[in-house]
Amino acid sequence: MNLHGIRAIYRFEMARSWRTLSQSLLAPVISTSLYFVVFGAAIGNRISEVQGVSYGAFIVPGLIMLSLLMQSVTNASFGIYFPRFTGTIYEILSAPMSYIEITLAYVGAAATKSIILGLIILATATLFVPLQIDHPWWMMTFLILTALTFSLLGFIIGIWADGFEKLQLVPLLIITPLTFLGGSFYSIDMLPPFWQTVTLFNPVVYLVSGFRWSFYSIADVHVAVSLGMTLFFLVACLAIVAWMFKTGYRLKT
């Protein structure tokens, strides 16, 4: 394995984030703080508890997931799209690196940045509400698996996109609505039976539910189902990335 090549790409991608620190870290933290102010103050006064947990604490896992999904997709998609845009992708493809090593470097960097951001938001949340983490190891497991899965999804989007507009299309028009409708700010048990069934077709529900269970031992779906669905999404993204490299889809033309 070409560890030197992986390290070079990984360090370059991480350095790019530090150069744009305000956009990479400060902006998501500030926006998350605003969510606490708006949702915690406005809705928290009307909904004191959800499943025995204060509303302010209940929405913390959902807020972390919202930022994690968006940042994972954005970081990974821009990371691979920019070399395609500038033409340096051909230098990367001609380097003595396998497709697995290239993917590992870009996705690893994007996932690392997202995990760091998620932990920073978690620390920020403690300034607003008291938190408990019943299953810290499972919390980190869901955090890492989700970051890897959506970094892979962002990697796919970065290869698929043929313009900067398409890089924003999926995060803004698909991922954000799915996250808001996936139980980030409410329990799906609060919905009518018909809409509870419809919501189960939203993949984000399983991510948020499993992550929330690691905090408070409460979940909208069984934690084993959440873990299984997360691994399924991960494998599906890996299969798509493998197909893209095997066929050279939008990489060699």
Q: Say whether pLDDT at 22 is over 70.
A: no
User: Is 253 part of any domain?
Assistant: no
Mean pLDDT of 52-75: 89
Partnered with residue 53 across adjacent β-strands are 50
User: Is 252 part of any domain?
Assistant: no
User: Is 44 part of any domain?
Assistant: yes
Q: Say whether pLDDT at 49 is over 90.
A: no
CB 84 within 8 A of CB 250: yes
**pLDDT at residue 107, as a whole number:** 95
Q: Say whether pLDDT at 41 is over 70.
A: no
CA gap 187, 59 in Å, rounded: 10
CA distances, 234 to each of 22, 116, 180, 189 (Å): 30, 20, 21, 27
Exposure string for 36-67, b = 16+ CB within 10 A, e = fewer: beebbeeebeebeebeebebbbbbbbbbbbbb
CB 108 within 8 A of CB 186: no
CA gap 138, 29 in Å, rounded: 23
Tally of structural domains, the chain = 1
The backbone region for 6, taken as left when phi is positive above 0, alpha when psi lies in -120 to 50, beta otherwise, is: alpha
The pTM score is 0.91
The domain in which residue 181 lies consists of 3-247
CA gap 71, 178 in Å, rounded: 15
User: Is 149 part of any domain?
Assistant: yes
The backbone region for 34, taken as left when phi is positive above 0, alpha when psi lies in -120 to 50, beta otherwise, is: alpha
Which tens digit of pLDDT belongs to each residue from 220-241? 999 999 999 999 999 999 999 9
Which tens digit of pLDDT belongs to each residue from 150-184? 999 999 999 998 888 888 888 888 888 898 889 88
Cβ neighbours of residue 234 closer than 8 Å, sequence gap 6 or more: 145, 148, 149, 152
CB 249 within 8 A of CB 156: no
Mean pLDDT of 140-148: 96
Which tens digit of pLDDT belongs to each residue from 189-222? 888 999 889 999 999 999 999 999 999 999 999 9
